[in-house]
Structure 1
Amino acid sequence: MILSSFRILDNQKDITKSFTRLLYNAVNHLDGFGITDRTPLILESEVIRGCIRNLRNLGKRVRYITNIEDANIGSCKKISEIVELRHLDNIQGGIIINDFEYLGLLESRNDGPNSNPIHIYSKNKWLVEQQRLIFDMLWEKAIPAKIRVKQIEQGLERDVCELITDENSITTKYEQALRSLVKELCIFYSASEGDVPNERIVQKISEIIIHISKSKLKDIKIIIIVLTNGSINGTAPLTGFSHISQDYDVRIKYMTKEAVNFQLSRDLMILTVDRKELFISELKNFEDISRCIFENDINFTIHSNSGSVVSTYNTILEMLWRQDEIYKKSEMAITQLKLQDKLQKEFVHNFANGLRNPLQPILGFSEILVEKKEEFSRYGDVFDIINACAQKLAKHVNNMIAITEIENETFILNKETFDLVKLIRDITKQIKKNILSITKKNLSISTNVDSMMINADKNRIKFTIENVITNAVDIPNSNNIKILVETTRSSSSQNGDKNQCFVIVTIMDDGTGIDRMILPRLFSKFVADSRDGLGLGLYLAKNIIERHGGEMWAENNENGKGATIRFSLPIN
C-alpha cells in the first residue's frame, strides 16, 4: 500500500503530466524550490503561468526559492512578478508541493542530450507534510528576491547572520575580520566572576589586538569597555596596555555592573569591526582559560554583517561608553535639585522673617501711638520707623509679584525718557533721609556729566538702584558708599557694537565684601548674603538691566575692603 503511493518518473511525458496535474490540483498553496536557468519553464509555459495566475487571483500563496546570481538575475526578476520569490545560497535539487501532492527531483542524468532526470511523485500524506516542513524551514532562512537583486545590482555585500560553533571556523572568521580592519575596533568584555584580576582581562583583550596588522595599528582607534562584578583597579586601564605603543589610539573604560544595572551569568565578548561587522561570543569561565582566547576559549559565536544589526550594537556600546558621563550629569542634576530645594526652604524661612520683622515695629509703635494720641508731636522718629518698615514690607511683596511676572513671561517694561543722574540724586536724598539719618553712614555721588537722558522703565530702574544702594548700606562695617556715573562706548564684555554708548553706574562700599562662595551665584534666585534678605532683589535687578540691553556684574574690591556692583544701560 505504501509503495503504491509513490511513482518513479523517468520520461519527460510522465514528468510533464504529473507536474501539470499538481498545478491544477493546488487548492490553498503551491510551494517549490529549485535551480533557475536562463530559460526557466515557469516563464516558457503558458499553462504553468495560467495555473499560478488563477491561484493568485483566488488569494492563494505561490512561493518559490532559488539561487539568484548574475547569470539568472533577469529571469528571476521576471519570476518575482509572478510568484513570491526568495533567494537561498547553494540551493540544490527541486520540489513542487501543493496541498496533497509532492513532485521532487530524485536524480539528474547526464547520459546524453536526450536523457531525462528522474523524479518522484507521491500523494503520501506523511511525505507531503515532511517536505512542506522542510520547505518552510528553507523559506524562513531565505532572503527576499528584491534584497538579493539589490545586492547584485549595487555590488553590496550580502547580509549574514550566522551561529558558529566550530572552533576552527570561529578562529578563521575573527582573524579575517581583524586583518581587514581599517579604522575602528570596539571590544566589549563582560566577566561574570567577581574576583577576576584586571591583568587577566587585559591579557585576553591584548591577544585579540595582536591579530591586527602592525602596519595598520597606528591608524586604528581601539575602544575597550570592560564590565566586571568586582572592584575596579583605577590604574589598570592605564598600565594594562603599557606594552602597546603610546602612539596607538587605545581607549579603555572599566565599569561595574552595579553602576550600569547590567547583569550577565556568562562571560561575554562583543566586537564590532569598522562599524560593519559584528561578533558576539560566549566565553568559557576564566578558571578554565589558560591558553590564547582563540584556543578552545569560545563556546559559540554569532557573526553578522547586517547593517541594521551592527548599527544597533554600535549604538548600545556607545551608550555604555557614555554611561559615566550620564551618571556624572545625573549626580550634578541631583545636587542642583538638592541645592535648589535647600534654597527654597531658606527662602520660605527668610520670607516669613522678612514679613514678620517689619510687622513687629509697625504693630508695637502703632500701639504706642494709640495710647499717646495727644502727644503725636513727640513721636516723629516713630513715624519714620513705621514708614520705613511698611516700605520694606511692600518691597518684599512687590519683589514676589515681579518674580511671578518674569517666570510667567508677563514682565513688561514701560519705557519713558528721563534723567538718570537726577533719579540717582533723588534716590540718595530719600535714602539719606530715611536710613542714613539713623545709621549715620556716608553716601557720596560722583559723575562726569550733570545730566544723562535715557529711555527706560523709570520705576524698574529706580528699584534697581535703590536695591543695590540699600544692600550696600546694610552691609556690616560699611561706613562709606560711593556712587559713580560715567559714559563709555561699549559695556563690560558682551556687546560687540563699538558705536553704542553706554552709561555705567558703579556702587562701591567699604564693608566686609561678598562671601567668595556666594559671589559666583550672587545674582541667582534665592541667594542672599545676609539673614534679612530674601535673595530676590539682585536677581530682579539683573533681569531688569538685561531686559534693557545692559549688563550687571559684581566683584570684591582689590584692597580687600568691600565690594563693587556695576550695571550698564544703553544711551539712545
Structure 2
Amino acid sequence: MTGDHNEKSVDIERIDNGLTANLSRTSMDVSTFIIKGRKRALKEAYNRSLNVNHSYYCITGDELVKSYKPFLPLLQDQVLCRGGSSYIITNIEKDTIYAVKDLTAAGAEIKHIEISALRTSIIYDDTVAYFSIIEPVITQSATENVEQTEGEDLWVGSTELSVVQSAKKHFLSDWTNAVPATERIREVEEGTEPIFTKVLSNPDEIFSHMKHVIGIASKRLLCSSSGGMQMVYDNFFDLYERILEKYRKGEGDGVRWITTIDQDNKDLVNVFLNIGAQIRHLRNLPPMNFAVDNRYFHATIERMEGGKMMRTLLTSNEPIYVDHYNSIFEELWKNGIDASQRIRDIEEGVHLADIEVFQSASRARQVYLDIVKQATKEVLFIFPTPNAFVRQYKIGAISLAEKAAKEHNVIVRILMPANKLANETIQHLKQNYPHRIEIRYIEQMSDTKATILVVDRRQSLVMELRDDSRTTFDEAIGLSTYSNSKAGVLSYVAIFENLWKQTELYEDIKEAHEQLKMHDVMQKEFINVAAHELRTPIQPILGIADTLRSKQTDRQQQDYLDVIVRNAKRLQRLTEDILDITRIESKSLGLKKEVFNLVEIILNAIADSKNQIAKDRNNINLKLEFLNPEEDIFIEADKGRINQVISNLLSNAIKFTKDGTVNISAVLSKNEILVSIIDTGTGIDSEILPRLFTKFSTKSITGTGLGLFISKSIIEAHGGKIWGKNNSNNRGATFAFSLPASKNDKNQL
C-alpha cells in the first residue's frame, strides 16, 4: 500500500468485507474464555491457526520474532495453498526486519506502527479474538472470578459478536494509521525517521511513548520540578538505571538533571545520585519542565505534584527543537550548584543562601520579573542610566512594580539619572501613586554601570550594563548576579539608603533655592543656616565612606562606595558655594593675598581636570592644553580664590565640550594679567547669555548656577573683570578674566 487515500480506502474495504463475510457465514457456539499469561495465550492462538483462512495480527516486534519460525509454514499453507490472507501490524525495528521480510515473502501483508500506539490482538476468521487484560473488551464479570498470579496477565478469547466487532474496529483503525512495511524498512535501514512534533493527551499513549524514548536513549538531560523527579522514579526508574549502567560501561552520556533541592526532596535526589545521575540545584527553574536527548524532546508546563503523570506532553524529534533545548540545558547547567554540596548544606543546617550568576540575558530577564512579582512589602531600584530605565520599562518590570503598589500596597522607590526620555512615565507614576511610588534623581554612574534590584530586603539582582546604546534589555546587559544572602542583600540596601539620603539633602537644598529666588531675605537666612548645618553631617559621611572604601576588597562594593564619596563631595562643594554666596552678599568675602606663580596654579588645575576626565570617561576625545606654560607669571592675590575661579571655568568648559579642545592661556602685559579659556563645545545658551554671571543661571540638570556668580565676585574683589562670549565661528565659547598687574608682576617682564 502506497499511502494514497483511495488505495488505502480500497485496502480497508477489502479487509472489512472479508471480516463481515466470515461473520455472516460462520455458525459457532458463542463463548468467552480466559487464558493466563501472554505466552500461553499466543501459543493457543497459533495452534488455532491451523484451519483458518483469514488471520489478523496486531503484535509487538518481540512477539513476532519469537513466534514467526514455527508459524511460517502455517502462513504459507493458509495464503499460498488455500488462498487465504494474513494481515500483520507490528513495530518494525532494526532487529525485527529479517522476520518481517520472511513473513512478507510467505504472503503476509505487514504494516508498521509505533509501539506506544500498538494494541495487541489476534483475530481468526472473526471468530476467535485474544486481548491483553490491560485493554479488556468484555465486562468485568467475565474475569472477576479468575485468580490472577502475580506477573501473569489475563487474556480473553471470545467468539461473542460484540467482542469480535470491537476487535475489528480497533484493527481497522490501527491499519489506517500504520505505515507500509516497505517504507518503514527503508527508514530503518537508511537511518531516517519521519520528523514530527505533536501534543499527546492520552495517559496510556504518553506513558508508552516516554517508555519507548527513554528505553532507546543513551543520554537524558532533564530540567524539572521535584514532582517531575518523583514521577520518573515511580514509572521509569528501571530505564534510567539501564541508561546509567550503559554509561558506566562507556556507552552514552548518562543522565544529568537540574532541579530545586530542599529538605523535602533531598532523599529522592540521593536515590538518583546513588545510581550515578549527575544533579545540580537551581533555585529559579524555567516555567516548563523538559527532557531532551540526542533524538527527542519532551516538555510539559504541569508541575506533576506528588509524582502525578502529566496529562499533556509536547514531544518532537525536530532537530531545531532538540538542538535548542540541549543548548538551554547547558546554559542552566552552568549556573547550577552541585547536588551533593546542596544536600550537605541542608543536613548541616548551613544557612541556605543562594547566589547564582546568569550569563544568559533571557534567563536574567525571567528571574528579574519573577522577583518583582514576588514583592510583598518593598521594591528598590537603582538605574545607572536613563536608557536602563526605559529598557526595563519595556520588558514590564516597572509595570509589575506599579501593579504591586496598586494591588498589594508595596512601597516602590527608584533612584535614577534625570532624563526627558522617561519624564512622561515618571510623572504618571508620581501622580497616580504619590504615597507608594517615589522617584529621586542621582548623577549618571560612569564608574559602575549596573542596575540593582532589591525586593523585600530578602532578594537582590545586580545586572551589569554591557552596552547602554542598545535598545533591548537582552542586548544591553552582561552578567547578572542573584542573591538571597542576608549580608549581601543588606549591603545593597545600605548603598541604596546612603544614596537616597544624599538625594534627600540635595533635593531639600534645590527646593529651598527655588523658594529663595522669590524671597531674597528668607533665602539669605536659610542658606546661611543650612550651609552651616550641612557641614556637620557631610564630613562624617566622607570619613566613614573613605574608611569603608579602604577596607573593602570587592571591586563592585568599592565602586558603589566611590559613588557615595563622589556625591558627598559634590554636596560639600555646594555647601561651600552657599557659604561663599552668604559672604559675598554680606560683603564679608575676605582675601588672603600673597605672591605666587600663576602658571603653577594653572598647571595644577589642568592636571586635576585631566584626572577627572580619565576617571569619568565621558570626554575621552577631549584635548586640554596650556598654550604658553614656559613663562612664569607672578601675581599678588588670594591664591585659593584664584585657583577656585580657574577650576570653575575649566570645569564648565569640559562639561560642555564632549569632543574637541579646551585651551587656556595666560598673558602678562604692562597693566594687567589676562587669563583666557577657549573651548569648542556647545557654546552659551542664548537664554542664559544675558544673565550669565547672576545666581542660578543654568539649564543643566546637575548644576546649581552659582559658580560663575562666585567667580565674578572673586575677580571683582581683586579689582579685575570677567566676561564670557560665544566664539565667532559658532563653535564653543570663551571665558576670560583680567587682574591688575602689581609692581611685583611687572618686574617679571
Structures share a fold, TM > 0.5? Answer: no
TM-score (norm 2): 0.26
- TM-score scaled by structure 1? 0.33
Structure having the larger proportion of residues in helix: 2
Q: Which has the higher relative contact order, 1 or 2, with Cα contacts under 8 A spaced 6 or more apart?
A: 1
